[in-house]
Amino acid sequence: MSLEFTVTKVGAVALVVIKGRIVAGPNAEALVAKVQESVQGGKMRVILDLAQVTYLDSTGISALNRAAALPKMVGGSTKLLNLTKRITDTLQITGLSSGFAIFDDLAKAVASFGPESEAPSSTGAGSGN
């Protein structure tokens, strides 16, 4: 099964929804290439939504690390969103969970980049929390 991606813009953030298995071979490389494409398109803030990722092997973990590092190389960052229990366990077992900012809520993930990342207000007024 090939990896599928949907990339949308949320404010100044690229939201990359990933579906499938991140495993050795073309799938792992496709993840890195998709994030590279977003970074080259000017998106330095990237959220990887892993809710539909069914499996992550050691090569997939490496690809996730490489993909997350790409925005950092240009002054940006990467956040992980909606990790399944299996992926959370895998990252914890390998000791890599502390290396990622992990969120269960898209709005909180976007807000974690700072106010310049949020979608502009439709009224033009300041945000009222």
* Residue range 60-84, pLDDT digits in tens: 999 999 999 999 999 999 999 999 9
What is the C-alpha radius of gyration for the chain, rounded to an integer number of angstroms?
15
Its domain, for residue 92, covers 4-112
> Is 53 contained in some domain?
yes
Domains contained in the chain, number: 1
Each as own residue / partner, the long-range contacts of residues 105-112 (CB below 8 Å, 24 or more positions apart, any chain) are 106/10, 106/15, 106/47, 106/49, 106/81, 109/47, 109/79, 109/81, 110/10, 110/11, 110/13, 110/47, 112/79
> Is 129 contained in some domain?
no
Model confidence at 126: pLDDT above 70: no
| Spatial distance between the Cα atoms of 24 and 43, rounded to a whole number of angstroms | 26
> Is 125 contained in some domain?
no
> Is 124 contained in some domain?
no
> Is 102 contained in some domain?
yes
**Neighbour tally for 48: CB within 10 Å:** 26
What CATH number should be reported for the domain holding residue 49? 3.30.750.24
Q: Residue 123 corresponds to which amino acid?
A: T
Of 52, 50, 35, 64, the closest CA to residue 104 belongs to: 50
> Is 128 contained in some domain?
no
**pLDDT > 70 in the chain, percent:** 88
pTM of the predicted protein model: 0.87
